[in-house]
């Protein structure tokens, strides 16, 4: 598999890694069977993401997409962060191999899950704002490129 220089850079030197102690929005998305599990931590003030971090268990592409996604939303208002698509993450990384696109989808969904958690903590139903979070990532029927496909 060939990865772009940006994917390799974000894998080797990921940004925003670790648990955020004062996070007020936490989202976890993943598939334990495959091994790609992302947890996004958000610190939100005045409807703006002032800080964010991640912990990801998975392949290099999963780590790189988590790193890039947090970079793309840091400092952004929530409504802008909610517009982040997996396609934007892939483009920011100068592409991903087709079997690794699901990693960018996990990053997008984990951010939405963290924002949904923030609204839930405020007593606000997140569904009308965030939409439905897709945490059913049993993608082995399409082949995700992880060890279980071998």
Each residue of 31-81: pLDDT tens digit? 767 678 999 999 999 999 999 999 999 999 999 999 999 999 999 999 999
Instruction: Please state, rounded to an integer, the average pLDDT across all residues of the chain.
Output: 90
CA 96-146-53 angle, to 5 degrees, is: 65
What gap in Å lies between CA 13 and CA 2, rounded to an integer? 18
- The domain spanning residue 129 has which CATH number? 3.90.1010.10
Task: State the pLDDT at residue 19.
Answer: 97
The confidence band for 136, taking pLDDT boundaries of 50, 70 and 90, is low
Say how many domains are in the chain.
Answer: 1
Q: Dihedral through CA 20, CA 107, CA 69, CA 43, nearest 10?
A: -30
What gap in Å lies between CA 150 and CA 144, rounded to an integer? 10
What gap in Å lies between CA 104 and CA 63, rounded to an integer? 10
Q: Which residue has the tokens 């993401």?
A: 49
103 is catalytic: yes
Catalytic residue among 52, 103, 144, 146: 103
Give percent above pLDDT 70 in the chain: 89
Q: What is the pTM of this model?
A: 0.89
52 is catalytic: no
| Strand order across the 36-45 sheet | 25-31, 36-45, 48-57
Catalytic residue among 34, 52, 144, 146: 34
Range of the domain at 44: 5-149
């Amino acid at each position: 598999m060939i990865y772009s220089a940006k994917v390799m850079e974000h894998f080797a030197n990921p940004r925003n890694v670790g648990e955020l102690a004062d996070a007020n929005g936490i989202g976890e998305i993943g598939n334990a069977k495959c091994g790609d599990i992302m947890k996004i931590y958000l610190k939100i003030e005045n409807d703006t993401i002032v800080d964010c971090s991640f912990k990801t268990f998975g392949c290099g592409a999963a780590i790189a997409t988590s790193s890039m996604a947090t970079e793309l939303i840091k400092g952004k208002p929530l409504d802008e962060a909610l517009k982040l698509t997996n396609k934007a993450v892939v483009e920011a990384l100068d592409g991903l191999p087709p079997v690794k696109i699901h990693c960018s989808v996990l990053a997008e969904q984990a951010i939405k899950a963290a924002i949904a958690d923030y609204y839930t903590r405020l007593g606000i139903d997140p569904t009308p704002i965030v939409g439905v979070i897709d945490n059913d990532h049993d993608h082995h029927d399409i082949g995700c490129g992880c060890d279980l496909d071998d």
